[in-house]
Structure 1
Amino acid sequence: ALAVHPRHSHVVATGAESGRVYLWNCNGRVLKAKCNTHHPVVGLGFSPDGKHLAVGCKDGTLLVLNYDNMLSGEFNQVVKRADKSRCEFHHCNEAIDEVKYSPDGKLLAAGSHDNFIDIYDVTGDAVPGRSTGVAYHRLHRLRGHSSYITHLDWSALDPKFPDRRILQSTCGAYELLYYDGNTGQQVRSAMRDERWDTQTCTLGFSVMGIWPRGIKGESVDGTDVNACDRGPAPDGEGELLATVGDSGKVKLFNWPCVVENAPYRRMEWSGDQNAGPRDKPKGKPVGYVGHSSHVVNVRFANSGRNLISVGGHDRSVFQWRVDSEAKEQKGVAKRRVEPKPYIMDDLTPKLAMTRVPDTSAEEENALNKSNKSDKAEQCDYIVTVVTGDAKGASTGATVVFSAAGVDKDGKTTVIREQRLDNSPENFSRGAKDVFRLRAADLGKLTHCRIGHNNAGENPGWLLQSVKVMNVTKGWEHTLFPQNLWLDRNRGGETTVTLYTSREDAEQAAGAALSNKRYIITITTADVKGSGTDSNVWIDLVGVSGKSTGAIKLDNSANNF
């Protein structure tokens, strides 16, 4: 299952039969969020405003999830109506492979292996005279297909006729049928001039060229092409059509694709590389290879700059870069080097932004004396921060970092407090963020401090680990302690001091525990015989295992 967010086209949702739905950030190539639906997921579809995600399941269940609740890790992720009832439906007995919202977001179509298409009223007032006023109620059941539903497409929104909603659908019997979403009746008139909001149906005039001719003596199976999608060309000129199938290849056509055995990219060229201007280049389309098995779905993302494909048995999600130079050009008489089809380069660390100091000029000068010295050697540091994978682990607050060390002369060196911020997706749940800093040589690293300003709606943060690397000097340290909640609502602090060894961290935690003053209030029950004349002791134990030892509680003759 695969779907692209309509408002944030770099966000992609995938689903698996394990019951999990994943949200991915294509730009950062990281996992944004995930949730468990407890049903095998086989179909996904975002609403046009991006607030809802419809989920079709293999057991015939249809769920509608709240996108914001998925990002924040809320327990209640299924959309609820005004009467607090859940948008969870069991109208089908078999798998719902296709779910798709109409362009205006008022209707939802769900195609199942029951050979039916169910139309749901999203807003409760989509069709006057037929709607009941209840959000997400079933309007129609569309009949007519002879086999299971494979693909669905709504007609594009027409400003002159905003209430016109036509649906095209294909099935396993290779039928292409049209329906009126408002009335639920089949449309039998010609739809040749209809403009479709999406093009995922693999049958029709505009996609007739995607079907291969096949090997001589063998017939072409109608299931060879599993999915297709139409998207804008990266240079803004025209549109492209991507297809995937049982061959494991990703093919890129020009759209509309109406030529029999239409050429597709990638091309393999043959012949003399020094061909003359009158020599026609020779080549054959071979497609893009990456998946080790059949490919089940494909979608354009990031405004057409990327292509997302989902594998079958290899259980993988591929992100491809769509390069404008890969477009075939008429009149080219020589071979061209095909661009790298998929992204394999590592994440590039970005410079962190220096925070404006809150200290006075004298304090700032004393703090950074070694850093501001003309003789101080400048070094490049890479700070890797990993956020925990738990509910509410991400933070929207501003995260700051500082470090201290000792040089060879025994003098203290510092990296002043800097704001770690190079992406709007920083410090998401389960994410690994990499930052590059440039500062004076710390010498021997002693400790670091990291924390946040406790601002925003969800400032709490689960800090899993921090690693600091001096690229110039070649040393690297993993800092302790780890797996800390920097959340005042959980009884923690917003800033923590990290050390280069676990022993130093435990020693510092024990010292902090024993040197603090505590107020202990004990209430004795008000019943007969509840008091005591014995000596009462208390022992405070920290998370590191260090304790204060037994402390006698005795400051009055009338205690307890």
Structure 2
Amino acid sequence: MDQQQALSLQWAFGFSSTISNGVADLTDKVVYVAAHTAIIYDRIEKQQTVLQGHCNLITCLCVSEDKQLIFTADAGEDAMVVIWEAASGQPIRTINSPHPKGIIAMDLSRDGQQLVLLSAATTDGEAVEMEQEISLWDLTDEGSLETPVATGSVPAGDVQTCIHFSPEFNSEIISNGKQRVYFWKTNLPFSKDFKYYSPPVSARDFKQSIGDFTVSVFIPGTTLAVTGTVDGDVVVWEEGHMMEPGSRPPDRRAVKILRIHFASISSLVIVDDYIVSGGADGNVRFYDAKLRLVAWFDDIDAGEVTSISFASHKMQQLRDSTEEHDKFMAPDFIVGTSKSKIVAVKSDSFERVERVKSGELVLEGTFDAVLALATHPMRSEFVCAGSAGLLWLWNYSTKHMLMRRQFEKLRGCVLTFSPDGTRLAVGCTNGSLRLLNPNTLEDVQAFRFTTGSIVQVAWSPDTLSIAVADSHNYVALITYGHGKFGDKWEYIGKYGTHTGRVSGLSFEGLGAQTRLFSVAEDGLMVEYDVPNCSVDGGIRLVSYADIGRAAAMPTAVCLAPPTQKTASGGPLIITADNAFKFRTYDSATQTCKKTVLGPTYGGPLKNLNVFQTAGRDDHFLAYATPEKVIGLSLLPLDGDPSKAMGLIAHPGEITGMAVSYDGRRILTVGGKDSIVNMWGVDVSVLESHAKAEKQSNPYMSLIEGGEGGEFYGEMKDYFYYSQIHSQGEETTAPRQIDGQVVLAEVPNLMRALGYYPSEYEVADMLAELQGEAAEAGQPAPTHVDFTRFISLYVNHRPVFGVGKEQLQAAFAALGADPVTGVLDAEDLIQAVTQEGEPMSGAELEDCLLALCGATQVDECLPPSLDSKQFAEEVLGFEDYAQIA
């Protein structure tokens, strides 16, 4: 593990099996794509070398003929092509942003001197917004790869998905989409443009239907090319006639169609003078230049073939080593399949008299979207659930799959082990809850009490209670004990306590002291009376409180470490919300104790996990955002940016995160990318970084312009003025400037700096200061110094200013017309003076006159207005459309 990283990728389970030719043979090693990472797997040492650098999903991979260089490319914003040294796994060259949306396909010329790129037309399912391009790059130039040597535009109408060089002429290239095949030609150095020809093909010509095209290659030593189809056919293209140099590419025409597979052809590769095909039927077949079948491997039995790659030695070397020239000979090869398996196949197995299952399993992973993940509390095991109803149980120390189970008509979406590791709870999308034996994945008991999907499952510390939340925002309770039907799990009931999605469930305490809390996006925190809940009496509540702050919705919840307790000895509850804040609550009084700035990258947090690492008594916080980012933070939370870190764990959605039982690993799943990543944890790196960055005020880096900047100067000026203002402005008495302002001035200071806290938020700030003093055994504070004021400002102010969407949402909440967005002025005035934290009539009048520069209130508001008018005519925003 890299000692310079708090989180480092130790292992990737699975590979991107849907990428055509996303696996390449490096002889004793294999390189493959795993989401936004490429992996070199040593088949002898059973070790992975991680090639990290892409932020987006890698879309294509290719390897040089000598197996010395690896090329990877991705699609999305800031896409790039990276050239890696295979021996070391280090990047040696990059092509930054070669096309606006990245790359969908690429190929390397046989001599390794040129690279052709085919641009992506879409990203993440977006509509096609721009035409595709192909570009040719000269790799012999030792300088930076900034511009291509030739470019061409793909005609609109059929998105191209595959591209290949001619094995004999770098000037000839073939590409195809579902309906069209293009033959491209360059005439370097005389022209930097591509010329193309797209031959027509009709079902009428061949008296049979022609399926969508999949992949195309040239046949070496001939003037032919072939294109595979989803029907298992290949269309053979023949050169029509010779053309003069510099003219358009030679015309091609479809001359015949041959059926070579019983399902879609997913891979076509050239090895010496063989054409090798792989199909969705799971078979690999060898054909000669005349498309005569030479050898077939129909017993690999590992799923649909998506990749075929050959070892590095040449055919001629094989032929020179034997006198049996009529014998089928080919290099050994690697096959990647849709079942996320990589299989090594020895070509001489074709000649065996007794045919057995071909191939040796190199590795395997999950092969559909992974919806959930959980780690065993006592063993080096994790379980994950796929969108097709599969459960996989893995040992993450040995990197082996232990077992799997296929659910019929069920999809697990929430997984949680009991604290003692004896049970596995599986929440399903159809509302059922299964309790399984984690050693066998067999059912122990099943429940169905909702028609909604399960969204949260939590176990009590004594493993005698299970809380479940569903997509209808109900919270249900299941307990184990002496019930009507003996010692077994019994469903107690459910309670519609929330109107928003339940963000988290947390148990605390044992036996008669067991407490259950739920927090939801409606801003409510609810405590349940677990000891007094029963089958007859149902679920009982202890209390509920509105903890919404400035319309912030809690998105993730966890209990603070046991070392952090309330004054009454109860637990503290940590929430993360869509305002990018961490808030800590007293579970007894359900009041906010502290508000600090959270990570602002990757979206509002969706997963929080407090954990310990083996051999240490202190605790740490792991977090995950809905997309891309996971990270660590030191505890207690204080908003210091040097005490937290984050990194891109997956190129898209993160559907699960779990910490190993010893706290030394974090496992994450990437949903549609089907990859489970295991990260090594080294909290000492984060501690060292925080110590090195420690300064008198660590929040300066979060202020616009930093210390010494213009805004910092304004803060100092306002702070100094507040000290004068609190002592009276019209006086000749000596001033007592002691570097502190009275607490009553704090709200005015915030507003002067552009942050307008509600009275509710002001109360939170004052309560936070008083709580700090009480914990330190000091009297309630009456003043605050400049350093503490800056931390209050940074931690409490909104991360983003008021924008167009917020204004529209506010008008909608006040009763604006749902179609026009228009609100009556009387309704606006009534809401401001009577709802929420009401303003008095005099306060409202003062504000309107100051904003509008008018002398009469009637001049400030028209009879009705929408959010745009309010922004421009009342608030004075110059360009409403440009509001962030």
Please, what TM-score do these two structures have when normalized by structure 1?
A: 0.46
User: For the pair shown, which has the larger CA radius of gyration, 1 or 2?
Assistant: 2
TM-score, length-scaled by structure 2: 0.30
Which has a greater percent of helix? 2
